[in-house]
Amino acid sequence: METRQLPQTVQSIIESRTGDAVFVVAPDYRIAYWDAQAEFFTGIKSEDALYKPCYDMVLGEREGGERFCSWGCSVMRMSREGRPVSSYDMHIHSPAGGKRWVNVSTLSILDEDGAYIIHLMRDSEETHKTVEMARSLIQLESKSECCASATPDSRDILALTVRQLEILNHLSQGKSVKEIRTELHLSEATVRNHVRSVLQALDAHSQLEALARARKLGILK
């Protein structure tokens, strides 16, 4: 497979065996390597992807449809700063039409030219389907068994989404909105919207009040 010249360290890593899709982004944001699994996930041939800006090829989206892949994205910024990047999920276009969820891990290799980013991508569609199914079951149970006798507190717990519970947990650890945004790879506006929804669901006027009520309800320990 034709690729641009890569540093030896990067070349050694992409030659390792893995079942994940692998693509490499050079310091200039252009794709330097695009393997057969990346072709399978996206439907984009390597000859069409190589040397193109990564954000024009991957077209990843966050939860809610907000664009994830863009020039100056948090992944590239953190990699250039030598900071570790946690794995994350994003929505991409699939060859069959529609979209699919994938989970992405990131390796950063600092070279004299800058940061080379090695992305390992795997299917996470089934995980998201399972979460949605569980959410639907909770809603069905709440309607059929709990609605008649549920207290406002128990209904509030059911109203929180998986993402809101995740953000609530981060808040309980003392993390700021900016720290949560970086760790979850969300925009600051999205995190603030989730925080507002959590406060509304828990009928709280501040984050401290929301955390205290969540602990009282048993949502947090």
* Residues 8-19 pLDDT 10s: 888 888 888 788
Instruction: Tell whether 2 is covered by a domain.
Output: no
Q: Say if residue 65 is in the same domain as residue 135.
A: no
* Residues 52-90 pLDDT 10s: 999 888 888 877 777 777 887 888 888 888 888 888 888
Instruction: Tell whether 137 is covered by a domain.
Output: yes
Pick from 67, 98, 123: which residue ends a domain?
123
Instruction: Tell whether 61 is covered by a domain.
Output: yes
Q: Say if residue 29 is in the same domain as residue 134.
A: no
Q: Say if residue 84 is in the same domain as residue 97.
A: yes
Q: Say if residue 89 is in the same domain as residue 37.
A: yes
- Residue 193 phi, psi (nearest 5): -65, -40
Domain count along the chain: 2
Q: Say if residue 19 is in the same domain as residue 117.
A: yes
Provide the CATH number for the domain around residue 184: 1.10.10.10
Residue 132 has pLDDT above 70, yes or no: no
Q: Say if residue 109 is in the same domain as residue 20.
A: yes
d(CA 53, CA 156): 44
Q: Say if residue 29 is in the same domain as residue 117.
A: yes
Is the pTM for the entire model greater than 0.75?
no
CA dihedral 21, 26, 31, 32 (to 10 degrees): -80
Q: Say if residue 36 is in the same domain as residue 107.
A: yes
d(CA 80, CA 109): 9
Please write down the long-range contacts of 100-105, taking CB distance under 8 Å and 24 or more positions apart. 100/41, 100/125, 101/125, 101/127, 101/128, 102/41, 103/127, 104/60, 105/20
Helix (H, G, I), strand (E, B) or coil at 87: coil
Which residues are CB-neighbours of 110 under 8 A, at least 6 positions away?
82, 116
d(CA 180, CA 58): 24
The pLDDT of 204-208, averaged and rounded, is 88
Q: Say if residue 73 is in the same domain as residue 164.
A: no
Q: Which candidate, 160, 219, 170, 214, places its Cα nearest to that of 191?
A: 170
Domain holding 111, by residue range, is 8-123
Instruction: Tell whether 22 is covered by a domain.
Output: yes
